[in-house]
Structure 1
Amino acid sequence: MFLNFFADLAEEKRTLDSSNNYGNWYSTYQHLKKVVPKNLTFEEIDENFIKKVRKYFEKDAISKSEIPLSQNSKYSYFNKFKAALRNAFDNGYLTVNYASKVKSFEQAESQREYLIFDELQRLAKAECKYPVLKRAFLFSCLSGLRWSDINTLIWKEVRDEGDISKVNFRQEKTDGVEYLYISKQARELLGERQDPQERVFKGLKYGMTYNTEIVRWCNRAAVPKHITFHSARHTNAVLLLENGADIYTVSKRLGHRELRTTQIYAKIVDSKMKEAAEIIPELTLEI
């Protein structure tokens, strides 16, 4: 039965993928239970069924707050549904790859909050209640690594080769193996080398306590933005582009699968360039 199959896939994501990815699979499952008959088997799946599910996400699905789904939620949930169909086809449960026969929703551009260099400098000087959080956040700003990869980074994955340092790790989100060169200052934030299997940022935790401290840390540094840990990754992308890195290099460093994901940051930089055009006060001209 399709719902059982989808539930098994979601559980597999819980054990293998990041918590955020599993959350999307779980939410998709909760929605599918509202539109897919409990006992529906793979033999009953056809194009009309696929269209019915798409129409549900487009017109009828509502969030926990009882409001229509956002465009990005439609995009994410329906893509999970398509991924399950593709998996079922690959494993012989379906004879037709219905995932290739239906159009996905368009993804809306989301707001990416980031720090300009002066704000990052103020954070670097300001007090943070948890030193390991401060080191990890600043390291993410300088390297672009995600929270999930920083949290699980162990010393075995940190390579010091003379004056050059890099981290070799498997991205938790994409499962791709990455070889990322880091700057000397980023390496200094890691501290003294410890046992190979020991976590680099020992004691780092995800939760309300650390999230709240980021807000308070920003307040102490007079940074009037809604900054989360993931904002550090956005900051890295914008700073690289502003300082001359080409978009292909930035895309590779961030581990993006598609260049269009990185192009969102290029738009941010372009808008800053437009602002800079008007930054010089007007002259009193006599020609």
Structure 2
Amino acid sequence: MKISLKQRKLKSGKISLSIEYYKGSETSPEGKRRHIRENENLKLFLHDEPKNAIERKENKETLALAKKILAIREAEFYQGRFDLKNTAKSKRRFLDFFNEKAEEKSDSIKNYGTWTATLVHLKRHITPNTTFEEIDENFVKNVRQYFDKYAQTKSNLPLSLNSKYTYFNKFKAALRAAFDEGYLSINYSSKIKSFEQAESQREYLTFQELQKLAKTPCKYEILKSAFLFSCLTGLRWSDINKMYWAEVRDEDSQSRINFIQKKTDGVEYLYISKQARDLLGERKNPLDRVFTGLKYSAVYNNELVRWCNRSGISKHITFHSGRHTNAVLLLENGADIYTVSKRLGHKEIRTTAIYAKIVDQKMKEASNLIPEIKW
């Protein structure tokens, strides 16, 4: 591409300045050659025949400004703004780049797991030697179609809508990063629509189930205490796991937790019940972890399921179900939705409204509990 400053004389007698982008030529099926040009009107004007020193000075300053803009456009061209790709970067393999982005997420267990799961799917569909110079809009559409119609779970079942949404968004995030870092000259992530996100099911425990679980032995007491604490407070695993005694404030009538929510980085002040405080045990040094020995692992996850099974609960309960349980129990026992939203640290009330739907459903079920009256 050739970029140049052009002048065009107007009927008014002034000269209009513009930048011309010459992109070569093409030959039509009829054999005619056509030059491809684009123009950017700078809306700057010169005096055609300056009559005095003032007009000559204005011409000089205007022309200098136009040349500066031309220099900026030339710099943008070399940065890839006009489909000029960095040859070295365009030869890099896309899957290697995606793997690099995934490794950057290793400090977040959940996020890292999602990126690596997406990579597994991409390896099934994209050939290992695919480079950035092969990526175009059709390539991105093809990947979307793979997630929509052909990708399967480990059980050979089609992906759920939320899985499609999550995996394809990670793919788009990688494309966006590639554009920002100069591997792509076009941001393809903004050109392809993502999947809609379905409303996910919130698995939770009823009060009766929670009561049974509390009475059932668990192989790891620290896991039992932490999970019950989540049910009573609504705290996430990440916030419970990193909790230090300095964050636990025992006041005259009640205790509270002052902490920075790991997911949102927001400062939270959460009052907790006496029963929740009792689960923490005796106070230790300020910099000691409250739940010493708690860790994220398949062993603990499996024991949580077995613990539920031993108590007669067949639901698929995860540690995060404790947070759902807390929200539902609060709403069932009279807490208003705004208070629950604030306690859970939600930024938007619509996030909390999902739990209100669950309570409404239970109200509908309760309407049929009374036996039918015989007339």
1:242-281 alignment runs, 5 A limit: 242-256=332-346, 259-281=349-371
Q: Could you tell which deviates more after superposition, 25-34 or 59-68?
A: 59-68
Q: Distance in 1 between matches of 2:348 and 2:129?
A: 37
Per-residue deviation, 1:105: 1.4
Is the contact made by 1:238 and 1:268 (CA closer than 8 Å) also made in structure 2? yes
Amino acid at match of 2:105: K
Aligned to 2:259: 168
Amino acid at match of 2:260: F
Alignment pair present for 1:70 and 2:160 = yes
Q: Distance in 2 between matches of 1:240 and 1:85?
A: 42
Identity %: 65
Per-residue CA deviation, residues 19-67 of structure 1 (Å, 9 max, x unaligned), is x321210121122233345454445533222212111211222333444
Q: Distance in 2 between matches of 1:36 and 1:48?
A: 13
Q: Distance in 2 between matches of 1:250 and 1:211?
A: 27
Q: Distance in 2 between matches of 1:238 and 1:107?
A: 22
Q: Number of residue pairs matched? A: 281
Per-residue deviation, 1:235: 0.6
Per-residue deviation, 1:72: 2.4
Is the contact made by 1:153 and 1:169 (CA closer than 8 Å) also made in structure 2? no
Alignment pair present for 1:13 and 2:102 = no
1:196-215 alignment runs, 5 A limit: 196-215=286-305
Amino acid at match of 2:248: V
Task: Give the TM-score normalised by structure 2.
Answer: 0.66
Per-residue deviation, 1:81: 0.9
1:3-152 alignment runs, 5 A limit: 3-14=95-106, 16-18=107-109, 20-152=110-242
Q: Distance in 1 between matches of 2:313 and 2:359?
A: 19
Per-residue deviation, 1:204: 2.0
Of the two structures, which has the highest relative contact order with CA contacts closer than 8 Å and spacing of 6 or more?
1
Q: Distance in 1 between matches of 2:288 and 2:355?
A: 34
Whose helix fraction is larger, Structure 1's or Structure 2's? 1
Q: Distance in 1 between matches of 2:367 and 2:143?
A: 48
Aligned to 1:241: 331
Per-residue deviation, 1:92: 4.9
Structure 1: gaps (5+ residues)? none
Q: Distance in 1 between matches of 2:310 and 2:120?
A: 41
Residues 217 and 65 (structure 1 numbering): CA distance in 2 closer, same or farther, change over 3 Å?
closer
Structure 2: gaps (5+ residues)? 1-91
Whose strand fraction is larger, Structure 1's or Structure 2's? 2
Amino acid at match of 1:167: N
Q: Distance in 2 between matches of 1:208 and 1:5?
A: 29
Task: Give the TM-score normalised by structure 1.
Answer: 0.84
